[in-house]
Amino acid sequence: MTRWRLTVEFDGEPFMGWQRQDHGPSVQQAIEEAIVRMTGEEARLHCAGRTDAGVHGLAMSAHVDLDKQLTGFRLCEGLNALLRPAPIAILAAEPVDDDWHARFSCIGRRYLYRILNRRAPPTLLRGKVWHVPQELDVEAMAAGAKYLEGRHDFTTFRSVHCQSRSPDKTLDSLTVVRVGEEVQFRVAARSFLHHQVRSMVGTLSLVGRGQWHPDDVKRVLEAKDRQQLGLNAPPDGLYFVRALYPAD
């Protein structure tokens, strides 16, 4: 048996998220069904971080154990052929040690959130960005973001459906930059709470619009109360960028 590390790109719009769901299609289900068709094996796929409905993946890491003798090239080519026309692509497949785990071996995760900040609505980027037509103050949002970096109780920014045992997380960095017509949030941490990134972006967008002061971010963080959250950003603009591992 070989343990394969897969790097997966996907458009999250038509899916209910990464994880298998009873009420709709998922990225995991699509890949597992392609594996069955290719190898005849009912294999379980494990990922670095489960994503919500509508969230996209640039380079999600996952692993699967297979008995069938394959090369990485053949595994990629076969799965990509069977996944069409679903918006999922296997970018790479490589054998790893039996104790390597996509989730538990991961030492860091990176996310990107994209806001299209212009008056005109998106056409080519529809479903891939959050459209905010009001001009956003990037400097004010960056000032508010500084309050969120470091180790905190992120209860305010945690979904009521979050299954994490503790609301305490360490946010390594949260940068806010303007790139052309977009405002981008680049977020790094070892792990995240359910909806944490979307909740932080939504709250910072209120600062960018001038509805909140940067200090209000500190106030709601310290409140440790989900009811104090300013806004939960939609999933459209959120991307899982990559997972980090010791050997990378």
Structure tokens at 117: 């900040």
- Which pLDDT does position 117 carry in this prediction? 98
Taking Cα atoms as reference points, which of 209, 192, 201 lies closest to residue 129? 201
List the beta strands (DSSP E) in 12-55.
46-47
Domain boundaries, the chain: 2-96, 108-244
- Of 52, 65, 153, 216, the active-site residue reads 52
- Which pLDDT does position 162 carry in this prediction? 81
The per-residue pLDDT string of the chain (248 residues; one tens digit each, 9 = 90 and over) reads 999 999 999 999 999 999 998 889 999 999 999 999 999 999 999 999 989 999 999 999 999 999 999 999 999 999 999 999 999 999 999 999 999 999 999 999 999 999 999 999 999 999 999 999 999 999 999 999 999 999 999 999 998 888 788 999 999 999 999 999 999 999 999 999 999 999 999 999 999 999 999 999 999 999 999 999 989 999 999 999 999 999 87
> How many Cα neighbours within 13 Å face the side chain of 135?
2
Q: Phi and psi for 183 in degrees, rounded to 5?
A: -110, 125
Asked if the domains at 2-96 and 108-244 fall in one CATH topology, the answer is: yes
- Which pLDDT does position 169 carry in this prediction? 96
- Pairing between β-strand 182-189 and β-strand 108-116 as defined by DSSP bridges: antiparallel
Active site residue 137: no
**CATH number for domain 2-96, candidates 3.40.50.300, 1.20.1050.10, 3.30.70.580, 2.130.10.10:** 3.30.70.580
| CA 229 distance to own-chain centroid | 20
CATH class (in words) of the domain with range 108-244: alpha beta
Amino acid letter, 43: A
What's the pTM?
Answer: 0.95
- Exposure string over 12-43, b if 16+ CB within 10 A, otherwise e: bebbbbbebeeeeebbbbbbbebbeebbeeeb
